[in-house]
Amino acid sequence: MQSSEDPHTYSVVVPVHGSEGMLTELYERLTSVMSALVGNEGFYELIFVDDVGPGRTWSILKDLAAGDSHVRAIQLMKNSGQALATICGLQMVSGSRVITLDDDLQHPPEEIPILVDFLDEHPECDVVMGISLTRQHSPLRRLGSRMVNRMNTIFLDKPADLSFSSFRVMSGLVARSFSSVQLPYPAIGPLLLRVTSRIQNVVVEHHPRRVGRSGYGPRKLFRQTVGNLVGFSMLPLQALAAIGILGIFFTVGYATYLLVRYVVSGAGVPGFTTQALLLTLMFGVSFFAFGVIGEYLIRILNSTATTPPYVVRADVRLVTPSSDSWQSEETGVLTDSSRGGIDWQEVETAEGRLQGRRGQDRNDEE
């Protein structure tokens, strides 16, 4: 393997969830594109992170990893979401150029060289995101995406002409900045903005989804927007502070008006209706403030908890590109067809490391 600083090394990260009908084609197209991209001198790796979806996804990924030294198949312990699955893959890359894309083939792998060429030709750029002028989504999904993009511009100080996308190419330096991310509710786009402001969009193709349907419905897009707002912006707290200040000024002003009116004309203070309205307003603002502050406190507690945001259940890859050996951290088995035996090994994968002890060869036991 070449150095991680070599410009001809590439890592492709693909979060996978319930896409067994497209995985083989995705692998074949990625292999074709990356082989042509690196030529005879470069190196590439394909990191598939199974986010514990339905179907035979993991079985297919294990077969791919067992037959190709460029493939690394990782399975999380439970469904953790696309963002955490992507971060898991980013924390294991070794390339100087890191590519991320979805598993549904709406982002054509054949468009990868366009993003890579743009990044190579613009050394001042750290991240390139592929966007399409016409996205092949439902009208409701497109409307939701536009609303999310607008909210990100307002609350996250995102440039108005920049659109977030899961189809990205970034430098290895940016990708390695994710090695310390331990957030329970991460969002790749806002995190990238925290790392670098040198992000550009490039127009690429976007194909219709051929199998199944997108998991990003209106409810999930709304939750994602709220998560970005609460997790990466101080604007809600600043808005609450502004509302509180306005409420104080209003209360003092109204009290002064009633006092002057009483002293000058002897008029009594308006009765039940005014008091009820003021109390209702006060309680409404208070409960709204408690709700927002409570959301922040919950996220702070989760962020400081010792429970990891994800746990790797299995990690499968070939040991060496030139042999038939392959390694599975799911079962702790290292299979070598040339020896005709099996070495058993206990494995702890909570941090993605191989820790254990080797036993005797099965042939010796027999």
- The whole-number average pLDDT for the span 144-162 is 70
Q: What percent of the chain has pLDDT over 90?
A: 31
Same domain? For 24 and 48 the reply is yes
Dihedral sign from CA coordinates of 57, 62, 65, 67: negative
- What is the pLDDT averaged over residues 105-133? 92
- Mean of pLDDT values over 161-181: 89
How confident is the prediction for the chain on average, in pLDDT?
A: 75
Q: Is residue 337 part of a domain?
A: no
Q: Give 14's pLDDT tier (boundaries 50, 70, 90).
A: very high
337-347: pLDDT as tens digits = 333 333 323 33
In a domain, 364, yes or no: no
Position 365 in a domain? no
Query: Within this chain, do residues 130 and 266 fall inside the same structural domain, yes or no?
Result: no
At 187-202, the pLDDT tens digits run 888 888 888 889 999 9
Question: What is the pLDDT averaged over residues 246-262?
Answer: 74
Check whether residue 177 and residue 205 sit in a common domain: yes
Residue 319 placed within a domain: no
**Whether 179 and 131 share a structural domain:** yes
Q: Is residue 4 part of a domain?
A: no
Distance in angstroms (rounded) separating the CA atoms of residues 55 and 58: 8
Which of 171, 204, 230 is the last residue in one of the domains?
Answer: 230
If one counts the domains in the chain, the total is 2
- Residue 15: helix, strand or coil by DSSP? strand
Range of the domain at 266: 235-304
Classify residue 362: in a domain, yes or no.
no
Task: Give pTM, 2 decimals.
Answer: 0.69
Q: What dihedral angle (degrees, nearest 10) is formed by the CA atoms of 200, 205, 210, 215?
A: 20
Q: State residue 350's pLDDT score.
A: 34
Q: Are residues 115 and 210 in the same domain?
A: yes
Contacts of 330 (CB under 8 A, 6+ apart): 62, 75, 313, 314, 315, 316
Residues 212 and 293 in one domain: no
Domain of 203, CATH number, reads: 3.90.550.10
Same domain, 136 and 64: yes
Reference 144, options 226, 75, 83, 84; nearest CA is 226
CA atoms of 71 and 64, how far apart (whole Å): 7
Give 275 or 72, the one with higher predicted confidence: 72
Same structural domain for residues 216 and 240? Answer: no
Q: Are residues 144 and 225 in the same domain?
A: yes
**What is the per-residue pLDDT across 219-242, written as a single tens digit (0 to 9) for each?**
666 666 666 666 666 677 767 777
pLDDT band of residue 4 (cuts 50, 70, 90) is very low
* 111, 79: one domain: yes
Of 250, 280, 304, the residue that ends a domain is 304
Assess whether 39 and 168 both reside in one domain. Answer: yes
Query: How many other C-beta atoms are found inside a 10 Å radius of the C-beta of residue 317?
Result: 19
Is the residue at 147 inside a domain? yes
* Residue 270 resides in a domain: yes
Determine the Cα angle at 163 with ends 158 and 169, to 5°.
Answer: 105
Are residues 157 and 277 located together in one domain of the fold? Answer: no
> Can you state the angle between helices 188-195 and 82-90, rounded to 10 degrees?
40
SS3 197: coil
Task: Identify the domain boundary among 261, 277, 304.
Answer: 304
* pLDDT tens by residue, 18-64: 888 899 999 999 999 999 999 877 889 999 999 998 889 999 999 99
